[in-house]
Structure 1
Amino acid sequence: MKRVIVLGGGIGGTTVANRIRKGLEAEVAAGQVQIQVVDREGIHAYQPGYLMVVFDKMRPEETKRDESGLLHRSIQLVRAEIEKIDPAANKVVLKGGKELPYDVLVIATGSVIHPEAVPGFTEGAHSFYDLANAQKLRTAIQQFTGGKILIAVAGMPYKCPVAPLEVTFMLDDYLRTRGLRDKTEIHYAYPIPKVFGIDTVAQPMQRLMAERGISIHVPFNVERIDPVGKTVKGVEGETIPFDLLIAIPPHRGSDVVGASGLGDKGNWIPTDRFALKVEGKENIYVLGDATNIPISKAGSTADYEAEVVAHNVVAAARGESPSARYDGRVYCWIMTGMSQATYIKFDYLHPPHPPTPSFAHYWNKVIYNRTYWDITARALY
């Protein structure tokens, strides 16, 4: 029997497991292939929903579901913490010593936030990269009555690259509806000399910020936060005061990647950007945030990569030559207000050109958020 193990029950892990099952339906039914998903908690978090929670556009309970209800019934969910991967022995070692052998391994362990990496972050900054902090930020902006708001990125790379733009524009619109915008300064600080990493996106976003009276500080790399004095010091020497600080925390790859000797210094996995294999490992694939591919760490990236990985795993299980190649496809909506959005669509060869923001684009995002659980996660398309 062929054993396929998927590590991680997020967007990438869930969709790739369901796609592999679809491709190997007959083999799984005949007992010739076993598919296992290993996840510590077995609770699937829809992380793009956290920002929506901040602005009361999604309820907290809408951002999570039990993983077992999203996987096909023939896929085994293993709720356990991973100790390490042993590529030489083709096995995954769980906490407690249990070992799971594999013929093909898919790593979808995502990224991990590390707010403690920046002095003063935990005490002085709000964020929305986990549900608990998203709810705290929601309360903070509801209680805000005016002053200086700073949106800053405390480390790169980070997942959902458009999120700092989105929270900035949504906050601007939100404050206008509350009659507080003329009592508020909004400052946007970004680590590189533009407001976003891709020129064709940075230019229209910077124009939009100028139109809305949003101050820009670039480049600005966060060195430390003073929660008492309410200032953020950048490595470039600038210090920015704030009354409310919304910051993107530093990210790293999963600890299990480092423990297994598969990652770089940030625990990102060196990955063939076309085949999506771990470099030097023929039977280990990787997708989503866990890779070191220099493209957006976003849910759509993981979803597109899942198509490629699933196709190649199916081929390998049947003794065929894997031929699918990932072309760098990414699709992300960008909220530009409380009820308007644009989007970016690009790949390795074609840069994005976001259209004019509109209610229609916003509504498409809403529809996707509402149908994610029943369509995307279950790979029903």
Structure 2
Amino acid sequence: MKNLVILGAGTSGTMMANHLVSKLPKKDWKITIVDQYKTHYYQPGFLFLPFDTYTEDQVKKEGKKFIPKGVYYIQKKIDKILPEENKVALEDETLSYDILIVATGSKIAPDETDGLLGPLWKKDIFDFYTYEGALALRNKLREWEGGKLVVHITEMPIKCPVAPLEFAFLADSYFKNKGMRDKVDITYVTPLDGAFTKPTCTKALNYLLKEKQIKIETDFAIMEVDNDKKAIVDYVDREIPFDLLVTVPTNMGDEVIERSGLGDDLNFIPTHKHTLQSKAHENIFVIGDATNLPASKAGSVAHFQAETLTDNIILYTKGFKLKQEFDGHANCFIETGNNKALLIDFNYDQEPVHGTFPFAKIGPLKLLKESVFNHWGKLAFRWIYWNMLLKGIPIPFVGRNMSFKGKKFDIKADN
């Protein structure tokens, strides 16, 4: 019997286990999934925790319940991948594999920035990319009386690239609802040359920042956090003071990738952008945030990747040529506050465009336009995540590759 091992039982790993358990012959293949953590988090929900939109129970569940029968589940720490031996060393045992799927994700690395883990960490400086950080920030916002709020991105790439901007928009709405928006000065600080990661989005949607009176500082390459001055400082000595700093630290791949010598400088694994096969080892495949692909590190992307990767795993077991299929497809809801959201749809080669989604003409969702429908879509995704996406159930009418039906390619701001 041959062995297929999946490292990581987060979004990508759990989806792959559910996809493959019914497609690989049980008499020929043993599927094992390894993860050291008991809890599975709905990470997009961390954006809503600080604003009391979601509760703790809505963003976490026991991970094991999503692992299908027929897949062996091991809850242990992964020590090292040994690709030359086709083995994975765990904390107290070693697994052999014929095929390895790496789905170890990414995590924040606040220690990469001088001063970030100083005396103000979790007092006046917070992240919301971890469960603990989002909860601590929620408690801070409940009692905060106002001042300079700085929302900051350290460097790219990060998980869910639009989440920091969503945080700024939701903060505007949150403080308005509390009757204290006039007491809060919001500044959005980014290393990019615009608010959005995609230039067409910046061009079409800059009006939102002006409308919400959110200041923006671009091209900010942070050097350090000065805890005494309560300021972030860049490499040309530009200083931005804060009373409350909400930062997205450097995102890096799991430490096991560094220990195994498989990653780049940020511990992301060099991966073929269309097949999801490791560039260094043909029997290793990579999915989700663990890859170095120029695609968004987001749940929708992992979902589309999983469909292509499943096909390629089956082809690989049969000795057939892999599909050069994955096109970097992503669709993403962007919360803009006041119960509205935007929706963007794009891939490696096509920037976000106007139009309708998922159906041409009838939508019902509009691309690059605020609407209540889009906001409902964002909130509905939590149910879809727990009940469909993790279980490998296709989302109706949403294909793995970007559809060009109903799209308009002449990007113009409507305001």
CA contact (8 A) 2:12 2:302 kept: yes
1:358 to 347, 354, 371: 371
Compute the TM-score of the two structures, normalised by the length of structure 1: 0.95
Q: Report SS of the residue matched to 1:116.
A: helix
Q: Which has the higher helix share?
A: 1
CA contact (8 A) 2:274 2:323 kept: no
1:378 aligns with 2:391: yes
1:125-140 equivalences under 5 Å are 125-140=125-140
Identify the residue that residue 115 of structure 2 maps to in structure 1: 120
CA contact (8 A) 1:312 1:324 kept: no
Identify the residue that residue 32 of structure 2 maps to in structure 1: 36
Identify the residue that residue 289 of structure 2 maps to in structure 1: 289
Separation (CA, whole Å) in 2 of partners of 1:347 and 1:200: 13
Percent pairwise identity: 35
Separation (CA, whole Å) in 2 of partners of 1:333 and 1:95: 39
Deviation at residue 319 of structure 1 after TM alignment: 4.0
Separation (CA, whole Å) in 1 of partners of 2:279 and 2:193: 32
Separation (CA, whole Å) in 1 of partners of 2:22 and 2:375: 32
Deviation at residue 42 of structure 1 after TM alignment: 3.4
Deviation at residue 196 of structure 1 after TM alignment: 1.9
Identify the residue that residue 336 of structure 1 maps to in structure 2: 336
Identify the residue that residue 79 of structure 1 maps to in structure 2: 75
CA contact (8 A) 1:220 1:236 kept: no
Identify the residue that residue 94 of structure 1 maps to in structure 2: 90
1:50 aligns with 2:63: no
Compute the TM-score of the two structures, normalised by the length of structure 2: 0.88
CA contact (8 A) 1:275 1:325 kept: yes
Moved segments of 4+, more than 3 Å: 318-321
Separation (CA, whole Å) in 2 of partners of 1:60 and 1:66: 13
CA contact (8 A) 1:295 1:328 kept: yes
Separation (CA, whole Å) in 1 of partners of 2:63 and 2:181: 41
1:60 aligns with 2:49: no
Q: Report SS of the residue matched to 1:265.
A: coil
Separation (CA, whole Å) in 1 of partners of 2:84 and 2:228: 51
1:345 aligns with 2:345: yes
Deviation at residue 139 of structure 1 after TM alignment: 1.4
Identify the residue that residue 307 of structure 1 maps to in structure 2: 307
Separation (CA, whole Å) in 2 of partners of 1:64 and 1:108: 19
CA contact (8 A) 1:311 1:324 kept: no
1:1-381 equivalences under 5 Å are 1-24=1-24, 27-28=25-26, 31-96=27-92, 98-122=93-117, 123-124=119-120, 125-323=125-323, 325-353=325-353, 354-381=367-394
CA contact (8 A) 1:2 1:317 kept: no
RMSD: 1.4
CA contact (8 A) 1:189 1:217 kept: yes
CA contact (8 A) 1:257 1:267 kept: yes
Deviation at residue 322 of structure 1 after TM alignment: 2.8
Contiguous gaps of at least 5 residues in structure 2 = 354-366, 395-415
CA contact (8 A) 2:162 2:197 kept: no
The count of aligned residue pairs is: 376
Separation (CA, whole Å) in 2 of partners of 1:233 and 1:374: 44
Deviation at residue 324 of structure 1 after TM alignment: 5.4
Separation (CA, whole Å) in 2 of partners of 1:174 and 1:6: 40
Separation (CA, whole Å) in 1 of partners of 2:38 and 2:28: 25
Which has the bigger relative contact order, CA under 8 A and spacing at least 6? 1
CA contact (8 A) 1:262 1:269 kept: yes
Separation (CA, whole Å) in 2 of partners of 1:380 and 1:198: 30
Letter in 2 for 1:291: T
Separation (CA, whole Å) in 2 of partners of 1:164 and 1:370: 23
Q: Report SS of the residue matched to 1:88.
A: coil
